Structure 1
């Protein structure tokens, strides 16, 4: 079994000398506890005083009842006379009034104790009575990206990244060498998704059992107990419907009528699904922010395994993969780009570009054309022309073609997670 080095590991280490709380968020079972253990090992090997707590398992201990008591306990037992203590807290959403707890211990221990914490739900951590503004740096630990999955599944080493357009020739050679292996493993990735324990398991029957158990635990713990949702049947039906409508524009009115859900209830359920990292709602790109917020978003499912658990997907071979599933895959990889925002673009006449990647003022239009005749859509040409001061190039992600047409690079979709854009 290969040890998978997570993409954000180095990013977190780069902030260890900063005084703010490092908050690592992510869905259940994405490997936050494992990552925290790796950070602890790194700190201990560097000679740093380190202590690790699991809030969900130690919640009944006296020192977790009050942040001042917790600070006193750390000072008595672990804080060195000289130097800094690194305090790691797993599942911090179980702390009483988590944001207030973290604020108080951070302020009490400023400069003496560095806190690194994980949390499974952004929603609970965002219900802030005392804001952590200026006191935290946030990271999101996603499920395995395709490159991370390949570390676990492939016999080859895939530590390559390619800047576009500078490395286009090297990318082409890479594709020629590894194409068959990439396509073979993408089928499995689309079937099972990126939950680490599912990816690391070799036997299909156990993969299936692990995946079902992960989703069942999410429904029972997060949805039923944590957020006190009583109508679990309707909630499950909403997930199933969204999985069947992946990569589509979200029509709240239609969904409300189909499921018999009140608009407020539907919005509440959607906020839970987004806050617990099950779905992402992608807004349309407008220079007018008011328009962006008022228009309907597209819905994407953050893991292909969730889709496979709720709806049947045909995955006999690479070329037969359904287009919306490929678009959803492209989204899950593109969303992990650092310091970027992801939108879609739609004209009044309903011509659409699947994604617009925005970094500062730079825009990259990206279209997924997996089984269509390969041409540059007029809407992309117009977008590049209309935003010429902000667009250097566009990208079409396709099945197997590789080339360039004007300002547009045509690239195989299996390469999406290997691209450095903007």
Structure 2
């Protein structure tokens, strides 16, 4: 497979012309290292996962940074948090833009250290696995079901690895390596059960007490484990919209996954055909659409403002997107056949938020406007 240009590239180059440091975070194997090296092929590359480089950086960070300057990629920089305060001093002294690219797959540590030491000096971008558009620029995707099962991890496409071979190994490596590093989880088997339970409830409200009862662990541990999945880019919470429109709203978050290939693997889905009768067909399509809209924002260097909305009378909209001062209500349906019932929640929401836009995204072929609501098929997303 030839290198697929990432849509985040233009934003990254723009930020490098304005900040001394650019930090690229994202899931393990999402292509951060390749992206950084293709972005600036003339930069010196240093992998801080290598013991010799890590030891040098830890024992003498100032000498390390004086050895590597004027165009450096520091890969997996979360291994040496001691570097950040020195980077602050040296970049202030030199006052050169675009000098360092930092990458890290553990968002929790990278963001924490950056917040403390490099605020105002560093631009941060999140690189997720391939988006639908990044893939279709180069290859043909037969259906949304194929995209859901195959996910977006570059290595899977680079070496044409079957989903059933790639994702179980990815998940096992993640649990045995990253989870041990991030959190002192003694019972990895129980953590894996938690991960599988969460997959079965993707797109549903996150109820800590249910997980606590089923796994025999306290709610504090449940919340801690979900935070681990968030900070390592496995799962994310979709919050409830904060304006209530004079109605009582639910405040619990919903949970989705950063890659549908990972989600399908946890659900035991091996082929696109398995989705025809699978209970999670609807939630998987919903997860895919939300993820694609999120990637579009992230690849533009924006912070996604995505929510769901539901009041205490069960009126609901799958997704609300706030952008440029406008609110768009989006309903998501996996059906290939359009039904007027799909518009019910959107019509209700338009009554209480008349300034909002309304869209339906579904798996069929229709593309038109009805009653002020834009109907789009997934291929147009």
Question: What interval of TM-score do these two structures reach, taking the shorter chain for normalisation?
Answer: 0.7 to 0.9
Q: 2:44 aligns with which of 33, 42, 51?
A: 51
Alpha-carbon shift at residue 134 of structure 1 (Å): 1.1
In structure 2, C-alpha distance between the alignment counterparts of 1:305 and 1:292, rounded to whole Å:
36
On the 8 A contact 1:355/1:366 being kept in 2, the answer is yes
TM-score (norm 1): 0.80
Which deviates further from its counterpart, 339-348 or 104-113? 104-113
CA distance in 2, matches of 1:112, 1:331: 34
The CA deviation at 1:348 is 1.8
The 3 A distance-change label for structure 1 pair 139 and 239 is same
Equivalent residue, structure 2, for 1:383: 349
Match of 2:72 in 1: 87
Q: What are the equivalent positions in structure 2 for 1:63-82 lying under 5 Å apart?
A: 63-74=57-68
> Structure 1 residues 36, 349: CA separation in 2 closer, same or farther (over 3 Å shift)?
same
Q: Give 1:146 deviation, angstroms.
A: 1.3
Q: CA deviation at 1:304?
A: 1.3
Structure 2 counterpart of 1:316, from 259, 273, 277: 273
Displacement after TM superposition at 1:113 (Å) = 6.8
**What is the rounded CA distance, in whole Å, between the counterparts of 1:112 and 1:51 in structure 2?**
16
TM-aligned CA deviation for residue 293 of structure 1: 11
Matched, 1:136 2:136: no
In structure 2, the residue matched to 1:415 is 380
**Cα distance in 2 between the residues matched to 1:374 and 1:300:** 27
> Secondary structure of the equivalent of 1:286?
coil
Structure 2 unaligned spans of 5+: none
Deviation at residue 358 of structure 1 after TM alignment: 0.6
Comparing 293-302 and 89-98, the one that deviates more:
293-302
Deviation at 1:71, TM superposition (A): 3.1
Q: How many residues align?
A: 367
Shift, 1:63, TM fit: 4.3
| Counterpart among 197, 205, 228 of residue 155 in structure 2 | 197
Q: Which residue of structure 1 lines up, in the alignment, with residue 183 of structure 2?
A: 227
Say whether the 8 Å CA contact 2:315–2:345 is kept in structure 1. yes
Contact kept in structure 1, 2:23 and 2:124, CA below 8 Å? yes
1:365 corresponds in structure 2 to 329
1:29·1:195 contact (CA, 8 Å) conserved in 2? yes
Taking the aligned partners of 1:132 and 1:297, their CA distance within structure 2 comes to 31
Instruction: Supply the distance in 2 between the matched residues of 1:62 and 1:122 (Cα, whole angstroms).
Output: 23
Alignment match, 1:103: 88
2:24 corresponds in structure 1 to 24
Deviation beyond 4 Å, 4+ runs, structure 1: 291-294, 317-321
Separation in 2 of the partners of 1:352 and 1:209? 38
| 1:326 corresponding residue in structure 2 | 285
Gap change, CA 1:319 and 1:234, over 3 Å in 2: closer
Change (3 A) 1:189 1:332: same
In the TM superposition, 1:177-326 aligns within 5 A as 182=141, 184-202=142-160, 204=162, 207-287=163-243, 295-313=251-269, 315-316=272-273, 322-326=281-285
Q: CA deviation at 1:375?
A: 3.4
Task: Tell me the TM-score normalized by structure 2.
Answer: 0.88
> Could you tell me how far apart the structure 2 residues matched to 1:3 and 1:67 are?
34
Shift of 1:152: 4.8
The answer to whether the 8 A contact 1:54-1:90 is kept is: yes
Q: Distance in 2 between matches of 1:153 and 1:234?
A: 39
Q: 1:349, 1:384 → 2: CA distance?
A: 16
Distance in 2, matches of 1:191 and 1:345, equals 27
Report what 1:178 is aligned to. none
